[in-house]
Amino acid sequence: MSTEQFGDMRTEYSKSLIAVGEQDPNVVVLGADTTDSLKTAGFGKKFPERFFNVGIAEANLVSVAAGLAYSGKTAFASTYAIFLPGRCVDQIRNAIAYPSPGDRKGLNVKLVVSHGGLTVGADGGSHQQIEDIAIMRVIPNMKVLLPADSVAVSKLTWIIAQQYGPFYMRMCRSKTPIIHNNSQEFQIGKAITVRDGSDCTIAACGITVKMALDAANLLNQDGISCRVVDCFSIKPIDKELLEKAARETGAIVTCEEHNVMGGFGSAVSEVISESYPVPIRRIGVQDKFGESARDNEISQLLEKHGLTPINITNMVKEARSQKQ
C-alpha cells in the first residue's frame, strides 16, 4: 500500500493568507470572480474590509492591486493562470513592474495563480496556461516561482508577503504529492537539492519534481546516480547551484509543465551555456497547445507531452551519452 501523502496548494495558500493577514494589517487580497475556487474567500470572511472581488475583469484586478500597492498596501491578486497573465500583460508590465518609487523596483503586488499547465482537466487548450513562465520571466523586476507542493506554497506565501516587490507564483489545480517536510527552508533565488547524485542532474519545477524523483529511482536500478533539484525559484534562478551541478554531474535534463520555448529549460540553458556547457535535454510541451482531458485522462495527456518518469529516464540516458 502506498504511503504517499498529497496536499492541496490552494488550501495551503488560503490558510497562509489568513495567517499573514493576522500578522500584517497592510495585506489586502483581490480576486476576479474565482475567489471560491482559489479559496481566497476565506480571507474575505476573516477580513472583509481588506478583500476585493472585482468581477470577471482581470486587467482591472491588476490595476486595482497596483493602486493599492502604490498607496502602501501589500496586495495579493489571484485568479486562474490563463487569465493572469493571459489577459493582462500590459497592466502587469506597466502598472506593477515598471513603476519604481524611490529606489524600489516595481510595486508590492503578489500575483498568485492556480490552474497552471496542462493539468486543469476538461477545460482544454484554451485554458491550459503553458506560456506564463516565458511571459513573466522576461518582465524586468518580476520574480517567478513554481512550487512543487503545498508545503512550498505555504512557505513561499509567507516569504513573498514579507519581501518587497512584484512576484508571480503558479499553483496547480490538482492535489500534489508532498515532496518537502515542514522543516524545509526556502529562499528566493536558491534551488533545493532533493536527491544527490553524480551521473546526471534532473532540474525540475512544479509537479515535475515528483516525476524527476521517480525517474531517479528507476535510473538507480540501472546503476545511474541522478541528482534531483527543485528549482522552484525560476527568476531569480540559482546560477551557482546549476553550474555546480553541471561541473559535478556532466549532464542536465530539465522538466517543466510548460512550453519548452522560453520557459524553465530555456532559463537553465542560458545559465549553463555561459558558465559550464554540458549536454542538456529539455522536457516539456513541444511548441504546441494543450487539449481537453478529463481528470482520469490527465496522466495520458502528460504522457503525450513526454511528462513522465519513463521519458525523463530516456532523456537522462541520451544526455549522458553525449558527455565528453
Catalytic residues: 58
End-to-end CA distance of the chain: 42
Q: List, in sequence order, every residue forming a beta bridge with 188; answer none if it has no partner.
A: none
If you ran DSSP here, which 8-state letter would residue 102 be given? T
For residue 78 the three cell numbers come to 489571484
For residue 256 the three cell numbers come to 517543466
Closest by alpha carbon to 84, among 115, 108, 54? 115
Torsion, CA 113, CA 115, CA 116, CA 122, rounded to 10? -160
Task: Give CA 19 to chain center in angstroms.
Answer: 22
If you ran DSSP here, which 8-state letter would residue 172 be given? -
* Residue type at position 55: G
CA distance 255 to 214: 13
Q: Where are the alpha helices (DSSP H) in 112-258?
A: 132-137, 150-162, 208-221, 239-249
For residue 110 the three cell numbers come to 503578489
CA distance 12 to 3: 21
If you ran DSSP here, which 8-state letter would residue 85 be given? T
Task: Give CA 97 to chain center in angstroms.
Answer: 19
